[in-house]
């Protein structure tokens, strides 16, 4: 396990073999910090791929994509950490432009990894929000259908009201004609005489009969017109119902990554605590990804770092043929110093 974590840190095992146990443990820690973002990347990409509609029923592709992405993140973080050589002082580190490049790159990787994990954290609330949006959309369609249907029904009710009024006029006129022929005297509510009181079909009765016939004709025409219009209105109501049902059945919202993003934005607009939690989680995951380069940069300057610097200085001054001898002498000298230190 020690060798594995040292390999994850990208540290030179041949140098660490000549270092103290504490120095090796430090580099084991670096390797652990490099491995953690890769594990988070595995979970992050697996979840992100599970929201892709075409892959929703193929879990194998989720995990395969997650593993590939985890290896990519691991390679990036391992490269960042392994290529960083600790300076002799923190001031020198802060004056090194390469440190800021590595830090910014690690920060960007942290954001990329963190966002799907934030969506995973809010997964339940996001699905509830999307379901509520679907329900609201369908309710809006049904409400629009009901309002249009009610408008058509009011037109039908007005036609029925007009027909009943004409029917009442026809019935009242028929009663007047009957009383006129029977010779009865009929008065209206204001006391006006409506019949002559003379029995039989006299001139007055004939006039009233012609008026009754005209009312009957108007009533039949109204009934005919109403029947035709009602057929059209009921057909329109059926069309509205069919279109409403079709829209409700056809509407299916996607649960893909973008739709979840939009749902999360809606939740943030409704509840400020969601936004605060999102930023807290993102900062947490970003911190996890920048820890390897940060700890490697500001860790105490140890024996391994001293040997790396000696190696660089030797390489700058020696020929390639003499490099191996010089390095071996430096390692032997470091081993003697380490032995004396332990005995002391």
344 pLDDT exceeds 60? no
Lowest-pLDDT choice from 30-34, 71-75, 151-155, 190-194: 190-194
What is the overall mean pLDDT for the chain?
79
The pTM assigned to this predicted structure is: 0.61
d(CA 126, CA 131) in angstroms, rounded, equals 9
Residue 109's pLDDT band (cuts 50, 70, 90): confident
d(CA 12, CA 312): 14
Whether 289 and 113 have beta carbons less than 8 Å apart is answered as yes
Instruction: Enumerate residues 6+ apart whose C-beta is below 8 A from 247.
Output: 141
* Cβ-based neighbour number of residue 80 at 10 Å: 23
* Average of per-residue pLDDT across 242-270: 77
With both helix axes pointing from N to C terminus, report the angle between 97-121 and 123-182 in degrees, rounded to the nearest 10.
40
Per-residue pLDDT at 71 = 92
CA distance 278 to 262: 14
DSSP label at residue 262: H
Q: Which residues contact 309 (CB under 8 A, 6 or more apart)?
A: 85, 88
pLDDT of 80 strictly over 70? yes
With beta carbons less than 8 A apart as the criterion, state whether 229 and 84 touch. Answer: no
- Separation of CA 231 from chain center: 46
- The pLDDT of residue 185 is 65
* pLDDT above 90 (res 68): yes
- pLDDT at res. 247: 76
| pLDDT band of 230, cuts 50, 70, 90 | confident
pLDDT tens string 83-96:
777 777 777 767 77
10 close to 79: Cβ distance less than 8 angstroms: yes
């Amino acid at each position: 396990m020690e060798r594995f974590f040292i390999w994850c840190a990208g540290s030179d095992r041949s140098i660490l073999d000549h270092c103290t146990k504490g120095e090796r443990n430090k580099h084991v820690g670096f390797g652990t910090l490099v491995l953690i973002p890769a594990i988070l990347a595995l979970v992050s990409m697996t979840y992100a791929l599970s929201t892709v509609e075409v892959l929703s029923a193929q879990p194998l592709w989720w995990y395969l994509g997650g593993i590939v992405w985890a290896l990519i993140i691991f390679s990036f973080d391992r490269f960042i950490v392994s290529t960083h050589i600790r300076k002799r002082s923190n001031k020198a580190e802060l004056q090194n432009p390469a440190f800021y490049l590595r830090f910014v790159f690690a920060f960007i990787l942290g954001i990329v990894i963190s966002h799907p994990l934030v969506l995973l954290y809010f997964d339940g609330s996001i699905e509830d929000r999307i379901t509520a949006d679907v329900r609201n959309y369908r309710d809006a369609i049904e409400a629009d259908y009901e309002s249009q249907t009610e408008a058509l029904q009011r037109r039908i009710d007005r036609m029925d009201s007009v027909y009943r009024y004409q029917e009442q006029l026809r019935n009242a006129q028929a009663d007047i004609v009957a009383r006129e022929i029977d010779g009865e005297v009929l008065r209206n509510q204001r006391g006006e005489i409506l019949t002559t009181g003379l029995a039989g079909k006299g001139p007055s009765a004939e006039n009233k009969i012609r008026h009754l016939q005209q009312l009957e004709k108007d009533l039949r025409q109204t009934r005919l017109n109403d029947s035709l219009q009602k057929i059209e209105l009921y057909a329109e109501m059926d069309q509205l119902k069919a279109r409403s049902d079709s829209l409700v059945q056809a509407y299916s919202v996607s649960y893909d990554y973008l739709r979840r993003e939009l749902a999360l934005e809606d939740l943030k607009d409704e509840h400020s605590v969601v936004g605060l939690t999102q930023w807290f989680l993102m900062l947490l995951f970003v911190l996890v990804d920048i820890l390897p380069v940060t700890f490697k940069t500001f860790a105490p300057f140890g024996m391994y770092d001293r040997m790396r610097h000696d190696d660089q200085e030797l390489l700058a001054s020696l020929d390639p043929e003499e490099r191996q001898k010089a390095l071996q002498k430096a390692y032997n000298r470091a081993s003697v110093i380490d032995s004396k230190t332990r005995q002391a």
